[in-house]
Structure 1
C-alpha cells in the first residue's frame, strides 16, 4: 500500500483548509471510501475534517467509522456533503473478531433504528467466515433496510454474500485488490456488484489509465468509483492530493466515462437504496 511521505504530509498539514468554490471546469468527484474513526477525532477536529473535504472540491463523500459516532459527527456538521454508512465495528479492535460476536447484531440493529444510512460497511470478511451467523444476519439486515454492503473481502466471501441474498447490492472495496481479469469475472457473474478503486494505484500511472484497466472500465462503465480510504488519521491530509490525482487520470478517459467513475456511478448506487441523497 502506498502511503504519503512525511514530506508530503508536512506540506499538507501546513496547507490552509478553507473551503473554496469549485471552478466550473473541475470534474465533480464523489469519494466513496472514507473513515473518521475514534483515533481521528482529537487529531483532526470535525470542523477541520469538513474543511479538507470542501477544499478538495468533493461533491459527496461516503463515510463509515469505528465507531459510528465519527460518521454522525461529520453528518451533523455537513449533511449536504456526508453520505453515511454503518460500520459493524464499535472500535478498531473488532476488525477480525466481529464475525463471531453476536453483540454486533444488537449494535447494528440499534444504530439502524436511530440513524439513516446508505449501506452497511466497510467490513472485513474473508472466505468461509461469510457463512457464520453474524455476517449472514448482517446481510439480512441490509436486505430488510434496503442498503448495500461495502465489503473489504476476497472473491470467495463476496460470492457467499450473494448466496445469502441473490438480490444483494455489494460495493467491493479496493476492487478486492485483485487482478483486472479476476475483477472482470466477478462483474460478469454478479450484475449487482460494484467496485471502488480505493488504495489502488495500479490502474493509473503518469496521469493515464493502464490498458487492462481501461478495457475493464470501458466494458463495465457503470460499475466503478473512486475512493481514498482514510484508514489512519494521517491520511486525511492526503484527500486533496488524491482528488487531484483522480481527476488527472480520469481526464485521460472519454468525458462520459470519466463522469461515471468520478461521481455518476456512486450517485446511481446511492439511489438503489432507501437513503435519499440530496443533489
Structure 2
C-alpha cells in the first residue's frame, strides 16, 4: 500500500519540474527567426537618397529582408511623405523637425519651429515627432519642448528622441505622461545605464538601431549586460537600421541580418515581441509577412 502514494508523489514532482522548465524555457528561436516579419523602427529617407534610392527600391529592399513595415522620419519631411504615399501599407510616418537651415544642432532655436510642426502635423498623419537630437541640454528650450509635448499629447503620439539619459529625465520632468521612443537606446550610454533608465521610467520605449554589434558582443555572443536589458524589457524594445546616410542604405541587407542574428539567440516569444509585436501594440497596426510585396 505504501507504493501508491510514493508513485503519485513522484508523478507530481515530475509534473511540477516539467512545468517549471516550460515556464523558464529560453530555447533560442534560431533559424526560425527568418520567418518573422521585422518592424524597422528607425528609417530615414533623406534628400541625398532620393536619386540614389528611388522609393520603389527602398520597398524592394524591405521586401528582400522581410521588413514588413517601418517608422520613417526624414530631412526634410518631404522624403517621408514620398515613401508613405508610395507605400502607405508599409510606412508609418513621423515628423522630423529638420528643414531649411534648421538641423540637429540648432533646430530648437528656429523661429518658425512651432508653426512648422503644427502645420505638418495637421497636413499629414504623422505618428511621432522625431527623430530629433538633444546634443546638449539647454533648459532655456523649455517653452518649445512644452509646446512639442503638448502637440504630441493632443495627438497621442510619441517623441522619438536621440539623446543621452539626462534629456530623457528632463522631458519626463516636464510631463510625466509624455510618450518617448529613445533612439538607439542612448547610443553612447552603456547597457547598464540603459537598464537603469528603463527601469526608472516604465513607459519608456527604445529602438536599438546602431547597437546590434554591441548586443552581439562584437561577435563573441549575446552580451551579458544587453541580455539583462532584453530579458527585463522585452515589451519595450524595437530594432532599427538608421539609414542616416546612403552608406546605411548600401548596407541595409547586412544591417537587418545583424539584427536577426541577435534576435535568433532569444526565445521565440521575446524575439517576436522585439521584431514586430511591440510595434503592433504601439502603433495599432497588424504586421505580418503577408505585407511583403505589397504597398
Q: TM-score range by the shorter chain?
A: 0.7 to 0.9
- Is 2:215 aligned against 1:203? yes
2:99 maps to 90
Offset, 1:47: 1.5
Partner Cα distance (1:55, 1:92) in 2 = 36
Partner Cα distance (1:256, 1:92) in 2 = 45
Q: Quick one: higher RCO (CA 8 Å, sep 6+), 1 or 2?
A: 2
2:255 maps to 242
- Is 2:192 aligned against 1:192? no
Offset, 1:278: 5.2
1:148 maps to 158
1:104 maps to 113
Instruction: Write out per-residue CA displacement over residues 210-257 of structure 1, whole angstroms, 9 at most, x where no aligned residue.
Output: 111111111111111111101112311222221122112211111111
Instruction: Write out per-residue CA displacement over residues 28-67 of structure 1, whole angstroms, 9 at most, x where no aligned residue.
Output: 2111001001121122211212211222210111100011
Offset, 1:135: 2.4
Partner Cα distance (2:286, 2:153) in 1 = 23
Partner Cα distance (2:279, 2:101) in 1 = 26
- Is 2:282 aligned against 1:269? yes
* Residue 146 of structure 2, aligned match among 115, 122, 136: 136
- More helix as a share of residues: 2
Instruction: Write out per-residue CA displacement over residues 5-45 of structure 1, whole angstroms, 9 at most, x where no aligned residue.
Output: xxxxxxxxxxxxxxxxxx99522211100100112112221
Offset, 1:159: 0.9
3-state DSSP of counterpart to 2:178: coil
Partner Cα distance (1:152, 1:137) in 2 = 18
Offset, 1:207: 7.8
* Residue 51 of structure 2, aligned match among 30, 36, 42: 42
3-state DSSP of counterpart to 1:209: coil
Structure 2: gaps of 5 or more residues? 1-31, 288-295
* Residue 194 of structure 2, aligned match among 176, 183, 190: 183
- Cα 1:207–1:223 change in 2 (3 A) is farther
- Cα 1:92–1:47 change in 2 (3 A) is farther
Q: CA RMSD in A?
A: 1.9
3-state DSSP of counterpart to 2:249: helix
Partner Cα distance (1:25, 1:180) in 2 = 26
Structure 1: gaps of 5 or more residues? 1-22, 272-276
- Cα 1:130–1:243 change in 2 (3 A) is farther
Q: How many residues align?
A: 252
Partner Cα distance (1:70, 1:97) in 2 = 21
1:219 maps to 232
